[in-house]
């Protein structure tokens, strides 16, 4: 492309010497900057021709997962990739976070994010590159570790985008910011990076993009949704207090397990009777621990509750109602006040409507209209939402991760495909990565269009 432009320009000059000088300059330019001058393949063509190296990179990440807050080796690998493409790299941002900035003239700034952490899940996929990693968790117990949520696909896709943009600088202008984020599974990594002093010096990017694998969507497809797409997520711990004693003399005790039974039932009325039916909300008691023996009434009972919502108003109402009902149960049983703790909260993810409307046609163009489908809203959570709360227009799209034939086989058997966080979940990497790199790169090129 660049050589054609040089030759066309040279023909306009009458002087032979002027033509020679221009041609020599062009040859030097092409030798010194081959990537800028010669790289003319499209994102889809590039992804297809580089898929084997991308798959190998993905498999290496899948074999070596690290838990939240422990992503040291993964971060080092991401930093090395960013340095290799010529980005300005900053490490240890909000923990093990890595940021690479690739400047290419004037224009907008685009942040693209991938999460790095894995889950305490022992892999059961039987893949040849399955994780065999075992570590001690925060409680000292040995746990298996697995990329059961597709973060290895996310990282590999963003590495592919970074490599493409670095070798095709004639196709875009502006600033590309590559963010590799820790601790997404704990809902803490994005907030930690955004509150890091380094991020404040970066300024507010014009846009932010991310992708997330979807275990129920076929490879080759992407899903989109404007507005709320993922939920507020809060974890609530309630410790109900009592007065222990012999199970044969309950009148001499204050039974915390009875309190727990009342509370579990009473919590169900919050969503059904206090929240408008058109407002999504979930309160689930996922764990209850109390007592030690058949004939012993213990001193306390511990409940672990997950709370999901979309709007800030509903979120506030749910948390206040849980506190109100827990205290009311304690008072009705003549028990001490319960201990209530709210932790690991992430805000709802709200995709920017204008950004979705701009990027979705790009997906249709590069993937085909039949492969770009609306996504259903989910009560799952994702702390990419924090970037939106920081004032950046965001768009997270869904990436199909399971081969259509495999999905058809699950349907034939009458079973659902393994979900994210399952020990049996695995993406089909070739098709997934080709689509992820193609879609994200095409979106980046559209948002980073060179100035006219």
Catalytic residues: 115, 185
Which tokens is 284 given? 């689930």
Expressed in angstroms, the distance from the first to the final Cα of the chain is 18
Q: How many CA atoms lie within 13 A of 437 on its CB side?
A: 31
Give the H/E segment covering residue 308.
strand 300-309
The answer to whether 366 and 45 have CB atoms below 8 angstroms apart is: no
Q: For residues 159 and 137, what is the distance between their CA atoms, to the nearest angstrom?
A: 29
Closest CA to 26 of 50, 54, 4: 4
| 3-state percent breakdown (helix, strand, coil) of the chain, nearest 5 | 40, 25, 30
DSSP-assigned letters across all residues of 101-140: EEEESSS-EEEEEEE--BBS----S--TT----EEE-TTS
Query: Residue 329 burial by CB count (10 A; 0-12/13-18/19+): exposed, middle or buried?
Result: buried
Cα 433 vs. chain centroid, distance in angstroms? 15
DSSP-assigned letters across all residues of 350-413: EE-HHHHHHHHHHHHHHH-GGGEEEPPP-S---TTHHHHHTT--EEEEEEEEE-HHHHHHHHHH
Q: For residues 61 and 114, what is the distance between their CA atoms, to the nearest angstrom?
A: 13
Give the H/E segment covering residue 25.
helix 16-32
Q: What is the dihedral sign for C-alpha 71, 77, 80, 82?
A: negative
Strand ranges (E), 148-299: 174-181, 207-218, 222-224, 227-230, 232-241, 245-246, 281-290, 296-297
Which tokens is 262 given? 């009342």
- CA distances (Å), 270 to each of 279, 310, 321, in order? 12, 15, 7
């Amino acid at each position: 492309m660049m050589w054609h432009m040089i030759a066309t320009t040279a023909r306009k000059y009458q002087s032979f010497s002027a033509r020679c000088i221009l041609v020599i300059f062009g040859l030097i330019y092409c030798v010194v900057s081959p990537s800028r001058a010669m790289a003319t393949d499209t994102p889809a063509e590039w992804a297809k021709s580089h898929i084997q190296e991308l798959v190998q990179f993905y498999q290496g990440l899948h074999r070596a997962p690290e838990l939240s807050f422990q992503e040291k080796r993964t971060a080092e690998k991401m930093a090395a990739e960013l340095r290799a493409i010529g980005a300005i790299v900053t490490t240890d941002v909000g923990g093990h976070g890595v940021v690479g900035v690739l400047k290419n003239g004037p224009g907008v700034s685009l942040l693209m994010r991938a999460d790095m952490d894995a889950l305490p899940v022992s892999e059961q996929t039987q893949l040849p590159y399955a994780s065999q990693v075992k570590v001690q968790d925060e409680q000292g117990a040995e746990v298996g570790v697995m990329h059961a949520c597709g973060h290895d696909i996310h990282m590999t896709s963003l590495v592919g985008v970074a490599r493409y943009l670095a070798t095709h600088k004639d196709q875009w202008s502006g600033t590309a910011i590559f963010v590799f984020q820790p601790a997404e599974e704990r809902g803490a990594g994005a907030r930690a990076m955004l509150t890091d002093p380094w991020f404040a010096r970066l300024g507010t990017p014009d846009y932010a993009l991310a992708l997330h694998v979807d275990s129920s969507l076929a490879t080759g497809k992407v899903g989109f949704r404007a507005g709320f797409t993922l939920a507020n997520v809060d974890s609530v711990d309630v410790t109900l207090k009592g007065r222990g004693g012999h199970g044969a003399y309950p009148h001499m005790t204050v039974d915390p397990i009875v309190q727990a039974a009342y509370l579990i039932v009473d919590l169900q009325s919050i969503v059904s009777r206090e929240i408008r039916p058109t407002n999504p909300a979930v309160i689930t008691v996922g764990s209850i621990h109390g007592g030690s023996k058949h004939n012993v009434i213990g001193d306390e009972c511990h409940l672990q509750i997950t709370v999901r919502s979309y709007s800030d108003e509903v979120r506030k109402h749910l948390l206040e109602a849980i506190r109100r009902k827990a205290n009311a149960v304690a008072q009705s049983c003549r028990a001490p006040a319960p201990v209530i703790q709210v932790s690991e909260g992430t805000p709802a993810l709200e995709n920017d409507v204008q950004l979705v409307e701009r990027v979705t046609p790009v997906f249709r163009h590069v993937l085909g209209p039949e492969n770009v489908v609306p996504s259903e809203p989910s009560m799952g959570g994702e702390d990419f939402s924090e970037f939106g709360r920081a004032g950046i227009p965001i768009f997270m799209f869904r990436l199909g991760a399971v081969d259509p034939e495999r999905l058809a086989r699950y349907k034939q058997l009458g079973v659902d495909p393994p979900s994210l966080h399952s020990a049996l979940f695995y993406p089909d990497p070739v098709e997934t990565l080709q689509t992820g790199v193609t879609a994200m790169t095409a979106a980046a090129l559209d948002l980073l269009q060179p100035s006219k």
